[in-house]
Amino acid sequence: MVARSISDRRTIVAKGAGALALALFCVLAIALMQRAGWLDALNVGLMGRAGVARDNGVGQHISLLMRMASVVGDTIGRLVILAITLSILLSTKRRAAALWLALMMAGGTVLNLVLKQIFAAPRPDLLPHLDIVHSYSFPSGHAAGNMMMFGALAMLAARRGGYWAAGGMIALIGISRVWLGVHWPSDVVAGFVEGLGWLVFCRVWLPARRG
């Protein structure tokens, strides 16, 4: 039984590592296609439609919503959500879960910063930026960070409704970055893939499974 348990554990760890490796490979593939111009029609087309929608009356109200979503998903917003969640976990004596969440987010943030420096992709200039940005564009830090943050919250809550709510918030924040003109759609997709791969990798050690 012990030998089987160890074998099962190694299989799970291998699957987690494989998920992360596959995600990073997909991010690389998206980056290469983007640089080769294969995604130009998709990127320019979708962002162009966002630009047209921004200019009408309803678009101004949508822009306000997108700004709010982007603020929630920004680094400061994620830190606030993280601090509140860690406080709740620690107050309910879920110390292992709190430690896992903190380490998962810290590691994921470093991973995104490293990838941004490796690809060093400039921000799109098709539309006027409705947000202040200073970092590289690929992969989207908002998309990756919130995939990790809200995905982890859904895992820890372990409720079907939590997964739906997390998915909706992740999608809204990702869309907001294209609407605000600061990310190509492919930047956002790459961020989602990166964040999901890292989350699946860390899922192997999810303390919530041990109560």
Asked whether residue 7 carries a pLDDT value surpassing 90, the answer given is: no
Say if CB 179 and CB 50 are below 8 A apart. Answer: yes
Residue 210 has what pLDDT?
47
> What is the domain count for the chain?
1
pLDDT of 28 above 80:
yes
pLDDT at 172 over 60: yes
Please, are residues 187 and 143 in contact by the beta-carbon 8 Å criterion?
A: yes
Residue 128 is part of which domain span? 2-210
Rounded to the nearest integer, the mean pLDDT of the chain is 91
pTM: 0.92
- CA 48-55-42 angle, to 5 degrees, is 10
Dump the DSSP string for 28-87.
HHHHHHHHTTTTHHHHHHHHHHHHHHHTSHHHHHHHHHHHHHHHHTSHHHHHHHHHHHHH
Catalytic sites, residue numbers: 142, 183
Residue 56 pLDDT grade (very low, low, confident, very high; cuts 50, 70, 90): confident
**With bands split at pLDDT 50, 70 and 90, how would you rate the model's confidence at 158?**
confident
pLDDT at 59 exceeding the cut of 60: yes
Q: What pLDDT, in 10s, does the model give residues 75-109?
A: 999 999 999 999 999 999 999 899 999 999 999 99
- pLDDT at res. 209: 47
190-208 residue pLDDT tens: 999 999 999 999 988 655 4
